[in-house]
Amino acid sequence: VSGTSPVTPVTVLGLGAMGSALATAFLDGGRPVTVWNRTPARADALAARGATRADDARQAVTAGELVVLCVLDHTAAYATLGAIGDALKGRTLVHLTNGTPAQAREFAEWATQRGARYVDGGIMAVPPMIGGPGSLVLYSGDRSALEEHRAALELLGAARWLGDDPGLASLYDLALLSGMYGLFAGYLHATALARTEGGSTREFTDELLIPWMTAMMSGFPDWARQIDSGEFGPASSPLAMQATAFVNLIEASTAQGVDPALMIPVQELLNRAVSAGLGDQDSPALATLLSGPGK
C-alpha cells in the first residue's frame, strides 16, 4: 500500500483542534481524506467540507496509504491504534502526537513490528498556522516514507528532516518548546512587574520589551559557538555580578506584589554557578550546569 500519486489517500485520526487543522489542509490541497475521531461529532465540519467519515479507526486506517495520527498524548494514541495495529501493515504512519523521545522510539517499534513505515513528527505551529507560510513540522524515522509522502506532508507546512532516530523529532520539538516557554515566562514576569505602577502593558511591550529581548537574542549565535566549543570567552557580565543584581529583581518583585515564582529557578541557577566557581564566567557558561561540560 504505497504510492507517490498526488491523490494518495490520506487518513487523519484525531480531530481535536490540531487534527482538524491537519485534515483541512489535506482537503484544501485536493487530497482524498478519511477522518475518524473518538467523539464522532468532531468529524461533522470536515465531512461537510468533503472528508469521508469512517465508522471506526480500522475503517479509517484501511482507507489511507498515509495515516496521520494526532491525539492528545501517547495513551490516547495506543487507545486509538492499539487494538487494530495489524491494519497498519504496508502503510505509512506519521505520528504527530506530542510525546517524549522514548515514547516515539517505543511507538516506532510497535508500529514497525506491525508492518508500518513509521515517521514521528513534532508540529511547530498552532492550529490556525497549519498550511500557512510560518508552519513547520519536524520529522524523524523512516526517511524513504517521508520522502514518498513529502508533497502531501508539505501541505501542512515546511517539512524538516532530522534523522533516522524516531526520537529526534520529539527531542527537538521539546527543545523548541522549552525556548518558547522560557520566553513566555520572561515576558509574563516582565509585564507583571512593569504594570505594578499603572503603566500600559502594550506600550511597555512594543517600545521597551520586544526591542530589549530582540537585542539579547542577537547574542545567541555567539553563545552557541562558546557552548559548542566548550571554550567560554571573557566575561563582560560575570555571573557573580548577575547573582548579586538578581537579588534586587526578586526583592522588588515581591515588594511590588508580583509572584517571583518564574524567576526563582534562574536565581538558584546563578547561585549554583557562583558556588561552582563560575562567578567570573559569563552567561553561556551556565550551560555546563545543565548538561555537564562538553555536552
Q: Closest CB to ligand FVH among 17 and 210?
A: 17
Question: Does residue number 72 form part of the binding site for ligand FVH (CB under 6 A)?
Answer: yes
Q: Closest CB to ligand FVH among 46 and 266?
A: 46
At 60 the three-state DSSP class reads helix
Which range touches ligand FVH (CB under 6 A), out of 3-11, 68-76, 146-154, 219-227? 68-76
Q: Count the residues in the chain.
A: 295
CA pair distance 146, 262, nearest whole angstrom = 39
Among 76, 84, 249, 250, binds ligand FVH (CB under 6 A): 76
Which range touches ligand FVH (CB under 6 A), out of 38-46, 82-90, 131-139, 163-171? 38-46
Buried b (16+ CB within 10 A) or exposed e, 184-198: eebbebbbbbbeeee
Among 2, 29, 42, 186, binds ligand FVH (CB under 6 A): 42
Q: Closest CB to ligand FVH among 130 and 235?
A: 130
Sheet holding 10-13, edge to edge: 52-53, 33-36, 10-13, 66-69, 92-95, 117-124, 136-141, 158-161
Q: Closest CB to ligand FVH among 33 and 258?
A: 33
Q: How far is the CB of 235 from ligand FVH (least distance, A)?
A: 37
Beta bridge partners of 34: 11, 52
Per DSSP bridges, beta strands 52-53 and 66-69 are unpaired
Which range touches ligand FVH (CB under 6 A), out of 120-128, 149-157, 219-227, 266-274? 120-128
Question: Does residue number 171 form part of the binding site for ligand FVH (CB under 6 A)?
Answer: no
| Contact flags string 2-31 toward ligand FVH, x per CB under 6 A | ------------xxxxxx------------
Q: Closest CB to ligand FVH among 16 and 32?
A: 16
> Residue type at 200?
S
Decide: 172 and 123 in contact? Cβ < 8 Å: no
Question: Does residue number 37 form part of the binding site for ligand FVH (CB under 6 A)?
Answer: yes
Q: How far is the CB of 275 from ligand FVH (least distance, A)?
A: 37
Which burial class, exposed, middle or buried, applies to 65 when counting CB atoms under 10 A from its CB (0-12, 13-18, 19+)? buried
Q: Which of residues 86-105 bind ligand FVH (CB under 6 A)?
A: 97-98
| Contact flags string 209-238 toward ligand FVH, x per CB under 6 A | ------------------------------
Q: Closest CB to ligand FVH among 39 and 248?
A: 39
Per DSSP bridges, beta strands 52-53 and 33-36 are parallel
Grid cell in block for residue 188: 509574563
Long-range CB contacts for residues 3-8, cutoff 8 Å, separation at least 24: 3/65, 3/148, 4/148, 4/151, 6/30, 6/151, 7/31, 7/32, 8/65, 8/66, 8/149, 8/152
Grid cell in block for residue 17: 483542534
Contacts to ligand FVH by CB under 6 A: 14-19, 37-39, 42, 70-73, 76, 79-80, 97-98, 123, 126-127
